Amino acid sequence: MTAGVASGLAALSMSAAAKAEEGTKSEAGGKFKLKYAPHFGMFAQHAGNDAIDQIKFMSDQGFRAVFDNGIQGRSVAEQEAIARELERLGMDLGPFVSYADFGVKSFVTQDPEIRKMLIQKTKDAVEAAQRLRAKWTLMVPGHYDDHLEWDYQTANVIENLRYCVEVCEPTGLVIVLEPLNAWTDHPGLFLTKIPQAYQICRAVNSPCCKIINDLYHQQITEGNLIPNIDRAWSEIGAFHIGDNPGRKEPTTGEINYKNVFKHIYEKGYEGVLCMEHGKSKEGKEGEKALIDAYRYCDSF
C-alpha cells in the first residue's frame, strides 16, 4: 500500500468517524421515540418556575409530552395558556387526576350520594379536559370495604364506573384507573393489580374506561411487567414510570426500562408515559442525569 493511498484511507476513516459522531449527537438531541412526560417542577433548576418556560425547556430536550396530576386546580387562564403552548409545540398532556381519595370507601359502595359525587367529579373533569385539550383523566377507586364481600365491591366499582363513562363518552375523554401498591405506599386500597383492573375495564366495556399501568407500583405488587403489559394491552390507556426501589428515574433501580420501553414501542404505543418519580441527584446535575437516563433507555 502506498503512502498516498494509506493517507487517503485514513482521511476517509476519520471522515466516517466524524459523521458517525455527528449522527450520534443529532440523535441525542432529537425527539424521544416515546412520549415520556415530565411533570412541572422536574426541570426548575434549568427552566425556572414558570410553567410555559418549563414546557419550552422540555420540548427543547426532546420530550413530546407533559403531565400534571393537579392541573385541574390551576386557574382557568393558566390552563388555557398551558394548552396553547402544548398545541404550539405539538406536545400531549398526560392524564390529570380528577378523583383519588385514598381514605374513602367510594367506588366500592352503592351509596347514592357518593355516586352523585363521582358523577359530578367526572363532569368537572370533562369541562377541564375540553379547556386543556386533554385525552385522559385519572381516577382511583378508593379504599376497600372490609365488611363487604370482595366480589360485591367489584360489582359496585363496575356499576359506578358505568355512570361515569356515560358522562365521558360524548366527548371521548378516557378515565384511566390506577392500581397502586399496598406494600410500600398505599395500604388499604381496592385496586392494586393489573389483572384486576383489566377485569373491571372489560366489564365496564367502554372505550372511555382504561388502565394507567404504573410500572413502579406494579413492580412492587406483582412484577412480571412485560407479560402483564401484553395480557392487558387492549385495556391500557397510559403508563406511569418510576424505578424501584426508590421511585427515581430509570437506571437507578431494578427495572430494565430499556427493554420495557423497547417492548412498548414495538407494540406501536402512541400514548403518554408520565414520569411520576423523583431524581436521584439534586440541582442541575440531577436534572441532567435524569435526561441522560431517558436518552439511554430510549436508545433501543
Sign, CA dihedral 145-149-151-157, equals negative
195 preceded by cis ω (within 30°)?
Answer: no
Residue 226, all three cell numbers: 412485560
Residue of 235, 249, 276, 287 marked active site = 276
Residue of 178, 235, 249, 287 marked active site = 178
Residue 96, all three cell numbers: 390529570
Q: Which of 207, 208, 187, 191 is nearest to 199 (CA)?
A: 191
Active site residue 287: no
**How big is the CA angle at 101 (ends 95 and 106), to the nearest 5 degrees?**
110
**How big is the CA angle at 297 (ends 295 and 300), to the nearest 5 degrees?**
100
Active site residue 266: no
Q: Which of 277, 285, 298 is nearest to 42 (CA)?
A: 277
Q: Which of 255, 253, 102 is nearest to 239 (CA)?
A: 255
Cα–Cα distances in Å, from 81 out to 53, 64, 125, 131? 11, 17, 18, 10
Look at residue 55 and give its three-state secondary structure.
Answer: helix
Burial zone of 138 (CB within 10 Å; 0-12 exposed, 13-18 middle, 19+ buried): buried
Catalytic residue numbers, as ranges: 178, 276
